A and B are shown apart, each in its own frame.
Chain A
């Protein structure tokens, strides 16, 4: 089973600033990585797939990068609606599909 590790667990950033979230895989997942955003009381929402392709309707301030075992989600200029929990998920080797434990992005 591929273990996904996200860092940091909590990230405090001011609105308008840049946020950088990391995700590491225990073995290569090539570019088969997705990112999700989850707000309290809501279902996860797909942000990114293929490590760097934005899902439908996702604004360009969200960008993804990485290949193999190291991945990054960057939010270039934080808006109030971006404060949420973010999960990465690998879909290269399954079953099982595996998620990271999440990064909580909070307002500084």
Chain B
């Protein structure tokens, strides 16, 4: 069965970077894209970006351009999201999700809480 498992919670200070991993199993990794979505405490869902897993092409949300990088390691079926220059308003649960070809998200990781605090 399809599973998407993310790395554990992180606590970072302002200005630092965080890298979250997302390991997929139960399907052919390169047949589906991966999106990252975040959710600030008590708030809704915010799309962060997409990576095409078979060639590494990316699309990022405009408000994160320059601070976010999404990559994959196809040998381990793992996707990564790195966010730099962290601010307090980056505190959120970060989700990776498998993207169906049309663009909806059919399997989600369990989420990774990133807390940014001095």
Contact = CB atoms under 8 A, between A and B. Distances in A.
B21 interface: no
B61 interface: yes
Where chain A touches its partner, the secondary structure class is loop
B102 A49 contact: yes
- The contact size tier of chain B is 20 to 34
Given A97-B47, A98-B47, A99-B47, A49 B110 contact: no
Interface in A55-108: 55-56, 87, 89, 91, 94-102
B95 A96 contact: no
Interface string B40-68: 00001111011000000001111000000
A44 B106 CA distance: 9
B110 to A, nearest CB: 6
Contacts of A101: 44
7 shortest interchain CB distances as A-B pairs: A91-B103, A34-B104, A43-B108, A99-B45, A97-B47, A49-B104, A95-B59
Interface of A: 32, 34, 36, 43-46, 49-50, 55-56, 87, 89, 91, 94-102
A87 B111 CA distance: 17
A43 B104 contact: no
A100 B46 CA distance: 9
A32 B102 contact: yes
A99 B44 contact: yes
Nearest to A97: B47
B104 A46 contact: yes
A32 B103 contact: yes
